[in-house]
Each structure stands twice: as structure tokens, then as C-alpha cells.
Amino acid sequence: MIEKILLANSGTGHTEEMLKALMEVPMIQRAKVTVLHVVSPQVTAEGMTQKWEEGGKILASAIQTLNLDPGQVNAMLREGDPKDIVCRVAEEIDTDLIIMGSRGLKRIQSILENSVSQYVFQLASRPMLLVRDDIFVKKISRVMVALDKSDASKDSLKLAISFVRDIKNGQLILVHTNPDLKLKPGEIAANPNEDPVLIPAITEAKKLGINYKCVAPEGKPGERICQVAEELNVDLLILGSPDRRPSIAKGLPDLDRLLGQSLSDYVRVYANCPVLLVRSGS
């Protein structure tokens, strides 16, 4: 259940539109929202005053745009490094979901350009909804969840079901990619409804009376997930992102992920819709 949302608002991008779309989903409508804007430290008092004034205007504009019940939203202005502040505030308010904008930078580029969303994605232990600056945010109706046998995948399915079950005419799209399957010319692909990874999800969808569709494409998972999302005009893509960092390194970015070894890193860059990344146990 998502009861508390942290919206990290930089003053650009489509995060406000994303939150407004989310607030139309029944399971989200009662959530408390914290809108956070971070100003960077300045050398002079005059510069600091200017930044705080600009930050206040950004927050005021966001609150007005969101048009939420005053008792449902809280504005927060902080000073510091945005990467660290977002992670810290997420822990302070014990948020259930972080919403952030993303420039969609590729892996190495995001490191070199000190990407805030990439940093938070690496270190946050909570579900994170990334909204690329170059995509169009739509009303949420078709929710796609990419599944495998991981615990993070199971958590993703639960969240996807909670989104779709109360959306009028909503559809749950269940996807499992098989990188080892290579069809020969003329060979017909197996029925996705019989995919052993998808069967438990199908059973749950049927039990709850949810409209669903199954897809089990062959090929590279990242590429195929993004292709299916585009072909089916998906409004929101939910993906499990297992936390592989050892406990001793919780305060450090996972370098092999930063260098582009993770599926979730690929999808967050190339998917043409908002991507909600779910940590196992989050």
C-alpha cells in the first residue's frame, strides 16, 4: 500500500504530471504527499537568498499545479546536495514511493554527469518512479509488469495488481522474457498463458477478476521489455530491481550496476513510459 509519496521536484520535467496521473488511481488517492525541492549551497548570502526565493516559488507553483487537499500535501525546502537530501528525506518521512525526473542518461554518461536520479536509484531501498524528461505522461490504464522468479518480481506483481484492480477498464500486462529461446524459421512460439513464470500471476489476476494479457517474447530482456511496452502503448511499467549490494556497502553505489550490468538500468533509460522500480522487501 502506498500511503506516503515523496515528490522530488527540480522545477523541470514531468513529475507533477506523473503525480496527478497517479492520484487518479483509487489506491493512491488518500496518500500523503511531500513535495521536496533542494537548493544547492552558495558562496554568498545574496546568492543563498536568491536560491531560497527561487526554490520557494518552485514549491508554490508545484502545490498550485497539483491542487491537492491542503491536509494531504506538505512542501519541504532543503539546502544541500540533492542526491543526499532526497535519500535522507525519504528515510525521515518513511516514504512508500519516491517520484523523480530523469534525463534518461545512459550509464557511463549518468556517472560522469553526476545524475541525481541514478544515484538515488542505486542507494534508495524504496520503490522509485522515474519519469524521463522526454516522455509523455498519460492517464494510467495499462500497467505492465516484467516478471521472473525473483522476490523483487513478486513484490512488483503485488504492486501492479493493487494499481490495476480498481481502475475502470484497466489492464494488467504480464511479461516474461526468455533470453535463451531462439525460434527456428517457421517455428511457432509457445502460448504465453502456459509460461510457468506467468502462471501464478495469471491465477492471481483471474481470482481478482482483473483484465490481463500475457506476453512471453524471446530475446534480450531489456530490449524486448521496452519493445513490448511501446507496442502495447503501456502507461506505466513496473520492474523488480533486486538489491545486490552487500550490507557492508549499503552506503556506496553498486559499481557494476553503474557500469550498466543491470536490466533495470537499461529499462529506465530506454522505456518510452514511466518506470517504477521495486526493491525486494521494499
By the 10 Å C-beta count (0-12 exposed, 13-18 middle, 19+ buried), 103 is classed as middle
Q: Write down the pLDDT at residue 253.
A: 47
Are 270 and 222 a contacting pair, CB within 8 Å? Answer: yes
Domain boundaries, the chain: 4-132, 142-278
Q: Which of 150, 146, 168, 140 is nearest to 2 (CA)?
A: 140
CA atoms within 13 A on the CB side of 204: 17
Q: DSSP letters of 236-279?
A: EEEEE------GGGTTS--HHHHTT--HHHHHHHH-SS-EEEE-
**E strands present in the chain:** 4-8, 32-39, 73-79, 97-102, 128-132, 142-146, 171-175, 212-215, 236-240, 275-278
Helix axes 199-208, 151-164, angle to 10 degrees: 20
Mean pLDDT, residues 208-221 taken together: 91
pLDDT tens string 36-62: 999 888 778 888 888 889 889 999 998
Mean pLDDT, residues 190-216 taken together: 92
Q: DSSP letters of 167-197?
A: STT-EEEEE--BTT--PPTTPPPPPGGG-TT
Query: Would you give the distance in Å from CA 92 to the centre of its chain?
Result: 20
CA distance linking residue 80 with residue 140, whole number of Å: 34
Q: Write down the pLDDT at residue 103.
A: 61
What's the pTM value of the predicted model, to 2 decimals?
A: 0.85
- Element housing 155 (H / E): helix 151-164
Q: Write down the pLDDT at residue 257.
A: 46
Match 505492465 to its residue by C-alpha cell: 144
pLDDT tens string 128-142: 999 988 888 999 999
Tell me whether domains 4-132 and 142-278 share a fold: yes
CA distance linking residue 204 with residue 158, whole number of Å: 10
CA distance linking residue 7 with residue 93, whole number of Å: 12
pLDDT-derived band at 226, boundaries 50, 70, 90 = very high
Residues 4-132, CATH architecture: 3-Layer(aba) Sandwich (3.40)
Q: Write down the pLDDT at residue 280.
A: 63
**Is the pLDDT confidence value at 242 over 60?**
yes
CA distance linking residue 145 with residue 241, whole number of Å: 12
**Is the pLDDT confidence value at 244 over 50?**
no
**Is the pLDDT confidence value at 104 over 80?**
no
Q: What is the mean pLDDT of the chain?
A: 83
**Is the pLDDT confidence value at 7 over 60?**
yes
Q: Write down the pLDDT at residue 254.
A: 46
Better-scored residue on pLDDT, 31 or 257: 31
Mean pLDDT, residues 195-214 taken together: 95
CA distance linking residue 204 with residue 23, whole number of Å: 25
- Element housing 59 (H / E): helix 45-66
By the 10 Å C-beta count (0-12 exposed, 13-18 middle, 19+ buried), 9 is classed as buried
- The pLDDT > 70 percentage for the chain reads 83
pLDDT tens string 153-185: 999 999 999 999 989 999 999 999 887 655 445
Q: Write down the pLDDT at residue 136.
A: 87
Are 114 and 260 a contacting pair, CB within 8 Å? Answer: no
pLDDT-derived band at 266, boundaries 50, 70, 90 = confident
Question: Which residues are 73's β-sheet partners?
Answer: 33
Residues 142-278, CATH architecture: 3-Layer(aba) Sandwich (3.40)
